[in-house]
Amino acid sequence: MNKLRFLMILCITAVVLLFANCGKECKIKYPKDLKPIDWENYNDVYTVYWNLVHCCSEDPYFQTDSMECVNRGTIKISGWKVQSRDLFALCDDAKCAENFFVPSPSTVVYIDFYFPEAYAFLDTCDLTKKCFIKGEINYTLNEFTSRCFIEPKIKVMDINDIYFE
């Protein structure tokens, strides 16, 4: 009788632990045709996003209290600005500049500006042209239901690190 009770408790404990762990899994489905980041030249948004996105549990340096990570290096990225007054993000489709059309919401890279004349400069640019940015790699937290993953965000420090053509 004691063996049966012990086995039942063991099985119940295993099931409870299994279900408790399921909600925390991230399970990002990375594309198979992904090329590596080119650290010397400009990369498209798709390449930058899919090479840098990862699960929260995979990043020991992520600080959930500040919602950002420390600088992870410098990268060059090119794409079209997503049409929005509230945010600056790039995608790989020129339709992003015409309207708030994002072909795949998960392939958008957000941009933050850390120089005072940023928005005055952007008011003088043709935002329908392709944008080229050099900046520091940072991350932002994205919690979608029970999934927690960290997306890349580019931090631009100098006005000379952004141009449109």
Question: Does residue 10 fall inside a structural domain?
Answer: no
Position 37, amino acid:
I
Higher pLDDT pick, 72 / 104? 72
Rounded to two decimals, what is the model's pTM?
0.74
Question: Does residue 18 fall inside a structural domain?
Answer: no
Question: Does residue 19 fall inside a structural domain?
Answer: no
Residue 76 pLDDT grade (very low, low, confident, very high; cuts 50, 70, 90): very high
Strand partners, 111: 154
User: How many folded domains does the chain comprise?
Assistant: 1
What residue numbers bound the domain in which 145 lies? 26-164
- By three-state DSSP, how is residue 51 classified? helix
Question: Does residue 31 fall inside a structural domain?
Answer: yes
- pLDDT the model gives residue 54: 83
Q: Are 148 and 105 in contact (CB under 8 A)?
A: no
Q: Are 99 and 83 in contact (CB under 8 A)?
A: yes
Residue 9 pLDDT grade (very low, low, confident, very high; cuts 50, 70, 90): very low
- pLDDT the model gives residue 39: 94
Higher pLDDT pick, 5 / 33? 33
Question: Does residue 20 fall inside a structural domain?
Answer: no
The model's pLDDT over 90-145, given as tens digits with 9 standing for 90+, comes to 998 887 777 665 555 458 899 999 888 888 898 898 888 999 999 999 888 776 65
Question: Does residue 8 fall inside a structural domain?
Answer: no
Question: Does residue 141 fall inside a structural domain?
Answer: yes
Which whole number is the average pLDDT over 134-157?
82
Token pair for residue 67? 């919602």
CA distance 155 to 85: 18
